[in-house]
Structure 1
Amino acid sequence: MNNKQISILLVDDEERFRQGLRSLLGFYSTSASLPVNVVGEADCVEQVVKLAIQKSPDLILLDLELVNSDGITAMERLKDISYSGRVLVLSAHQEDKWIFQAMQKGAAGYVFKSRVANQLCDAINTVLKSEIYLPPEAASGFFRCFQENASSVYKASSQLHLTEREQEVLQLLTQGASNEEIAKNLYVTVATVKAHLTNIFEKLKVSSRTQAIVAAIKLGLVQA
């Protein structure tokens, strides 16, 4: 990292843990290993969004357990406001599903709280270089879930005889893409997209885009 000061927002529902993070980050700054500035603290989604807009921090250190909500919802809200910084999850949750879901929602890294003292400095440096930080203990959980998810999607699409291209169209459809956006993304014509949608509707036994999206989610045909 260069000498530019890094603005950080601390998000955790436990004040004591936030204090510990402040102390650790303060040590990084005074030792010149990581010039950081904590610009705010939050313990709920509403505060996260408000401070992200007001302070535009370079990095958000995010817990997955928040007051009246969770970090997954916070990341969804941050995406809604087009937050341009990075999110590094610091969580006590070590279950595969939490790691996978957090990374799917846009986290740039995942650190178990029990390993924060040893890994935080390296994690911050890594994610601020637009790289992903997943230490071995978190990476193994992520890939286990990734493989299971990919396998279930493949099995469901195979049973309905969806082609690979139809699967791609369906995935983009569930993300809210228009026919024109799907065509542009897949480098095909709008007419081709419409033909794929006709085939998809027939295989799913639906008659509209909304029905197709609902069916795809219920059948596990798309990744969340």
Structure 2
Amino acid sequence: MTENRTITLVVVDDQATVREALAVMLGLAEDVTVVATATNGAEAVEAAEQNHPDVMLMDLNMPVMGGVEATGHIRRAQPHTAVLALTTFDDDESILAALHAGASGYLTKDADRITILHAVRAAAQGQAVLAPEVQRRLLALTSRPAPATPPKDEDFNLTAREREILGLIGEGLRNPEIAAKLVISEATVKTHINNMFAKAGFHSRADAVRYALRNRRSPEDPQQ
């Protein structure tokens, strides 16, 4: 974005009151123009294609397509568009998944107008912005000692379904979203996750996310 024009922004949130409030609040800034809003990730991808905005303000937990998946689509198709995650979740797996998908920043919804505006402006200039609490969590994650020799997926004897679910966890999907995507019950998802955790020795979903991102396969890779 050049400095002599306004920042074009798309606001994405499935809650109408939040979406409209953000659009009005940010649109009042002289250097920001809200060019579109979207209610889910699929609409966000379409809005990005139609408007080529400087910044997408992206919720993560949405129906149809989640914000992490939408972020990946947008960043691959339009690398000039920055995506700023704004969500109620500040858990480890959501942070890691959003940043891995290409988000330029990560804020929680308790951020005030000045903080969000600063983040939007910074993202438009190609800068990364993280809420202080998110920075602390990332610092804690990166300061944990890594295993000397990271185990391979095949060492765990995961089934094809367990590997599939592990990949979706790595994309930031939660159990209900995984169940809907795979057309299985949430109870079945939980059973697979429990089995996976027992085999792999994961202690939290953050452990699973880190492993999934480190060992991500492309769709063309053969199953082991």
Q: What TM-score, normalized by structure 2, do the two folds share? A: 0.63
Q: 2:21 aligns to what?
A: 20
**Shift in Å at residue 145 of structure 1?**
2.9
Question: If each structure's helix is expressed as a fraction of its own residues, which one has the higher value?
Answer: 1
**Shift in Å at residue 45 of structure 1?**
2.1
**Shift in Å at residue 11 of structure 1?**
0.6
CA displacement, residues 99-145 of structure 1 (integer Å, 9 cap, x when unaligned) = 12211111111111011424111111222221110132111112323
Correspondence 1:151 to 2:146: yes
Match runs of 1:85-96 below 5 Å = 85-96=81-92
Q: 2:80 aligns to what?
A: 84
Change (3 A) 1:14 1:108: same
Q: 1:212 aligns to what?
A: none
**Aligned partner (choices 49, 65, 77) of residue 53 of structure 1:** 49
Distance 1:108 1:221 in 2: 18
Q: 1:222 aligns to what?
A: 214
Distance 2:59 2:11 in 1: 9
Correspondence 1:75 to 2:76: no
Q: What TM-score, normalized by structure 1, do the two folds share? A: 0.63
Unaligned runs of 5+ in 1: 30-34, 159-216
Calculate percent identity across the aligned residue pairs: 25
1:63·1:90 contact (CA, 8 Å) conserved in 2?
Answer: yes
Q: 1:139 aligns to what?
A: 135
Distance 2:70 2:121 in 1: 23
Equivalent position SS for 2:106: strand
Unaligned runs of 5+ in 2: 153-208, 217-224
The number of equivalent residue pairs is: 159
Equivalent position SS for 1:151: coil
The one-letter code sitting in structure 1 at the alignment partner of 2:17 is R
Q: 2:157 aligns to what?
A: none
1:59·1:87 contact (CA, 8 Å) conserved in 2?
Answer: yes
**Shift in Å at residue 155 of structure 1?**
3.5
